[in-house]
Amino acid sequence: MHVPVMRADVVELLAPERGGVYVDCTVGLGGHARAILEAGASRLVGLDRDAEALDAAGEALAAWGDRVELVHGDYRGLASMLDSRALGAIDGVVADLGVSSLQLDAGGRGFSFQRDEPLDMRFDRSAGQTAAEFLAEVDETDLADVIFRLGEERFSRRVARAIVAHRARAPIRTTGELAAIVRRVVPRGRRGRIDPSTRTFQALRIRVNDELDGLGDFVSAAAGRLRAGGRIVIISFHSLEDRVVKQTLRGLASAGAVIDLTRRPRRAGHDEVAANPRARSAKLRAAERAAGPGQAGGRGES
């Protein structure tokens, strides 16, 4: 059975044993959703941009029948999704950002440099530009900027120059081709450090999926849909995501809209990291909707 990152922390902070309506904005393989339902949630809505993930989640959550609804969509459309289902205030929201285990492990998706496969990287394969298509047309200066900003790669200019030089001879179509280009120009560093192509792959994935665009607005919108006492939990895996989440939640807390439950991000414990290395970089932040004028407490569907 799939075990999601920081499962125990998510359940503790969301407190679904109180019942109510919860939204898993990145349902993936259904691990967090399953834990939330097992702990006592009355209803769960699961969102995902990846249609293959929804199929897997449907199988994992089948035992809960009509208490679960799965929706193919982007979490940044949370408000309209809730409105279309006449869901006003909800009791909890969780989002596990970034690439999922399914996307990394499944062949043919192009997220991992561990296998040589088509350079796709899209969460939603029904729409948008692939990473290969982006690399075929992006200007060298713009590419260097993307790799520097989104991958925090200090050799970004060197990588962009090598990519553009290679594509002048032949298109870059696979993960293996891209990884080989990057490895030739980025020093490996000390033994045991990350693969030299890691940051470039991260940058391209974020760019292809527009992962940072609207993230702060999503956090604000999600917190705004919580009833008093409802909670939001966000797990991020790199500093760019975490910075946006941190700043947004702190801004909401300063305005009195939420109570910050994690002044510092929670991290996975040693045992979890040993069992699941992906958890090493996870940072979890959470907040609770503060009571305000006209806000009702209680649990249940709205």
Contact between residue 87 and residue 302 where contact means Cβ atoms under 8 Å apart = yes
Tokens representing 106 are: 């499944």
- Residue 300 pLDDT: 47
- Each residue of 175-209: pLDDT tens digit? 999 999 999 999 876 545 788 999 999 999 999 99
Whether 44 contacts 33, CB under 8 Å: yes
CATH 1.10.150.170 domain residues, the chain: 106-209
Mean pLDDT over each residue of the chain, to the nearest integer: 91
3-state secondary structure 203-261: HHHHHHHCCCCCHHHHHHHHHHCEEEEEEEEEEECCHHHHHHHHHHHHHHHHCCCEEEC
Quote the distance between the C-alpha of residue 154 and its chain's center: 24
Helices (H), the chain: 7-14, 31-39, 51-60, 78-84, 101-105, 131-137, 140-151, 156-167, 175-185, 198-209, 215-224, 239-254, 270-275
222-237 pLDDT, tens digit each: 999 999 999 999 999 9
CATH architecture of 7-98+212-289: 3-Layer(aba) Sandwich (3.40)
Q: Which CATH architecture has domain 106-209?
A: Orthogonal Bundle (1.10)
Q: What is the pLDDT of residue 90?
A: 97
Query: Is the pLDDT score of 299 beyond 70?
Result: no
Which residues make up the CATH 3.40.50.150 domain(s) of the chain?
Answer: 7-98+212-289
**97 φψ region: left (φ > 0), alpha (ψ -120 to 50), beta (else):** beta
Tell me the whole-structure pTM to 2 decimals: 0.90
Q: Are 2 and 61 in contact (CB under 8 A)?
A: no
User: Which amino acid does the sequence have at 240?
Assistant: L
